[in-house]
A = this chain, B = another copy of it.
Amino acid sequence: MADMTSMAGGSDPTHSPSEIAAAWQRERPGTPTGSIEIVTPIWRLAKLFSDDRVRVLRAAGIDAATLDLLSVIRRSGPPYALSTRELTRRTLVTAGAISQRVARAEREGLVRRAPGTTGRRTVMVSLTDEGHSLIERSVDAVLGREAMLVSGLSDSERDLLAGLLEKLTADVGRRLTDSR
């Protein structure tokens, strides 16, 4: 996927989204700046969460890509095994990246690869004991930390925000599929 490092249209963390929109209006009256107050904070928040997670995980001896891999397998429930195909579907990266991530995790003894029984030449990736205990140790740390970060919102604010974000996600997804 494209990374999060380019957000022209309003990334500037030294100015608020509304200041950025105002700057465009001053420089180019009529510029369609209506989306900036939505898109810019989303990008900034994604970066804040991402960077913080990297820091937290470094202390736990695991990187974000590996956590992502192990998490998806772990929360799929017993027998803690998913095909490469399914891992790709449930992640935001390409099949090539999954292949590389699995190879790394396998080298570190966190997962195991085995041919699937259900035809179609699938490869099942499963957690080793070590992988299982690593994810158990990491999940609460990461999610607990994030819960702390968002704790400035009241319960009703949080629910309201979650609802709006879900609506927007569905909406954007629909418009993207329509336009292709």
A→B interface (CB under 8 Å): 1-9, 11-17, 20, 23-24, 26-28, 31-39, 41-54, 63-65, 67-72, 74-77, 89-93, 97, 136, 139-140, 142-144, 146-153, 157-158, 160-162, 164-169, 171-176
Task: Contact check, B3 vs A92: say whether CB atoms are below 8 A apart.
Answer: no
For the complex, would chain A's binding face be called helix, strand, loop or mixed by DSSP majority? helix
Total copies of the chain? 2
Could you tell me the distance in whole angstroms from the C-beta of A8 to the nearest C-beta in chain B? 4
With contacts A42-B42, A46-B42, A93-B5 known, is A171 near B142, CB below 8 A?
no
Task: Contact check, B46 vs A6: say whether CB atoms are below 8 A apart.
Answer: no
Task: Contact check, A4 vs B46: say whether CB atoms are below 8 A apart.
Answer: yes
Task: Contact check, B8 vs A50: say whether CB atoms are below 8 A apart.
Answer: no
Task: Contact check, A37 vs B162: say whether CB atoms are below 8 A apart.
Answer: yes
Task: Contact check, B143 vs A35: say whether CB atoms are below 8 A apart.
Answer: yes
